[in-house]
Amino acid sequence: MRGVKTIRFCSGRFGPWDVDVAPSVYPPREDTELICKTLSKIEGRGRKAIEIGCGSGVVSMALSEMGWKVHGYDINPYAVACSRANIEKLGYSSSVKINEGGLGEEGWRIPDDAELVVWNLPYLSPPKRGEPSLELIEEASMIDIHGKGWSFELLKHLENHGNDKIVVVALFRTDPDSPSKPSDWYSSGWSCRIIDSRRMGDEKLGVFCLWKTGLGVSAIRVDSCESTMDYSVDLPAEGWQRIVADTQVSGRGRRGSKWESKEGDLIASWRINREISELPPIGLLQISLGALVSGLIDCDLKWPNDLVSAGGGKIGGILIEAKSTDGGFRLGIGINSASRMVKGLLCPGWRDTIGEFSRDYVFSCVDSRVSTIIEKDDRIPDIDPMLLQIESWNSLSKSLSRGQRIGYKGKECRVVGITPDGFLQIVSGGERKALSTTNGLEWEFGNNLTTE
């Protein structure tokens, strides 16, 4: 083919490869390196992976290096020819097969036995009327589609696929906004974990792992129980296990306090079948979960684990318990569905903040966010604790930016950060402290003062 260029690609354990790239074929770039960096953390010996939009074949070869049997697809016939030539030249023909086709093509379907789907999603914005456009073949590989983007088309395809165990690794443009958004997966009951990100000029790109929360394991639902936390002890000791109850008789919160719930509230617990040592510190885990859930129900986060209104009324809470005799640990989350008075203070519910959503919908969203941080699979690298620290601080800062006053042992203090352990960093009396407990803290919400 005329105009073919040879590009050397090397990223970590992959390459160096001299790949031939024809005109109108997407070349390996920094976004390709970003995807390959994520793939280097994924196991998959002897299993089938699918690459959508294989371009020059680099990502398919990286998957092969990690032990996957790869089927690459592209709707661009020139890309198919390039990939096949590069794969043959570099010795990957036995483990990588390339075919023409892709999402949106009539009759195209992800194979039933696929366990991993990889896609460097097109992220350029569709041209507006009157603006110059690319050739059709280039446009298909580089430009997202109007509406919710190619990401949503993939989501719909997988929803109809029937395999709840597929994991997707996809690259999104996160800044500026692109039609394709990871948040669409959240609202459809999928977990969405960012693995890595990079800024390229004016754009920020992120690689996300996406999977159906629980990977096929359904939640247990009961009409009533003493405590979902106690019930969760007897859940199976493998997989993603959780229980939702309509009512509980003896619910509890932090420090053994009673958690009062009403019909319609979310009362759920998870048995986490992972050792605590595998995960970020418990303090950071607790506040990062609070950050995700508070963002979901549009409320404030009060360190370390309370979900509160701007007036200080408690909407919900997060509890983590572990016993030396049990493997893993247990997590409980309770959220009010509607407002009520508790000890003279108005405590709202999610219907006051996000509207009339059912308990089952709220649980599905909460479940996906808990899973996003904690669920384990060899195709899903763990989340970077630094990202959790940043997100936790961003969430806590929302209420602090409105002038919320905090005291410590009778003196006003200033909150300045969250430590890698999830401790609260304050400055009091000119001295910087890291607090691991709420002892001595006073929180003032409007005219309401609460003492820990």
**How far apart (Å, rounded) are the C-alpha atoms in residues 452 and 344?**
17
Within this chain, do residues 60 and 172 fall inside the same structural domain, yes or no? yes
- pLDDT in the model for residue 131: 41
Within this chain, do residues 208 and 243 fall inside the same structural domain, yes or no? no
What's the number of domains the chain is made of?
3
Within this chain, do residues 157 and 50 fall inside the same structural domain, yes or no? yes
Residue 295 neighbours by CB under 8 Å, 6+ apart: 395
**Structural domain ending residue among the three candidates 212, 232, 253:** 212
**How far apart (Å, rounded) are the C-alpha atoms in residues 334 and 264?**
11
The CATH number that applies at residue 297 is: 3.30.930.10
The CATH number that applies at residue 24 is: 3.40.50.150
* Sheet containing 220-225: order of strands: 220-225, 241-248, 266-272, 329-335, 314-321, 306-308, 300-302
Within this chain, do residues 238 and 151 fall inside the same structural domain, yes or no? no
- pLDDT in the model for residue 443: 85
448: which strand partners? Answer: 445
Strand positions, DSSP E, 85-166: 96-100, 114-120
Residue 350 neighbours by CB under 8 Å, 6+ apart: 266, 297, 315, 335, 336, 337, 357, 362
- pLDDT in the model for residue 405: 82
In terms of residue numbers, what domain contains 280? 220-383+392-399
Q: What is the per-residue DSSP string for 295-349?
A: HHHT-EEETTTEEE-TT--EEEEEEEE--TTSSSEEEEEEE-SS-EEETTEEE--
Per the CB < 8 A criterion, the answer to whether 275 and 376 are in contact is no
Residue 178 neighbours by CB under 8 Å, 6+ apart: 121, 123, 125, 144, 149, 172
Strand positions, DSSP E, 101-189: 114-120, 167-175
**How far apart (Å, rounded) are the C-alpha atoms in residues 137 and 129?**
19
Within this chain, do residues 429 and 445 fall inside the same structural domain, yes or no? yes
State which residues of the chain have pLDDT below 50. 126-127, 130-139
Per the CB < 8 A criterion, the answer to whether 33 and 11 are in contact is yes
- pLDDT in the model for residue 14: 95
Amino acid at 343: K
- Closest Cα to residue 413, out of 392, 437, 449, 441? 441
**Structural domain ending residue among the three candidates 190, 212, 234:** 212
302: which strand partners? Answer: 306
- pLDDT in the model for residue 404: 76
Within this chain, do residues 79 and 129 fall inside the same structural domain, yes or no? yes
**Structural domain ending residue among the three candidates 372, 399, 426:** 399
Within this chain, do residues 183 and 269 fall inside the same structural domain, yes or no? no
> Could you tell me what percent of the chain has a pLDDT over 90?
71
Within this chain, do residues 227 and 206 fall inside the same structural domain, yes or no? no
Q: Provide the CA 155 distance to its chain's centre, in angstroms.
A: 15
**How far apart (Å, rounded) are the C-alpha atoms in residues 365 and 395?**
18
Within this chain, do residues 183 and 293 fall inside the same structural domain, yes or no? no
Within this chain, do residues 112 and 147 fall inside the same structural domain, yes or no? yes
Owner of token pair 């996406």:
210
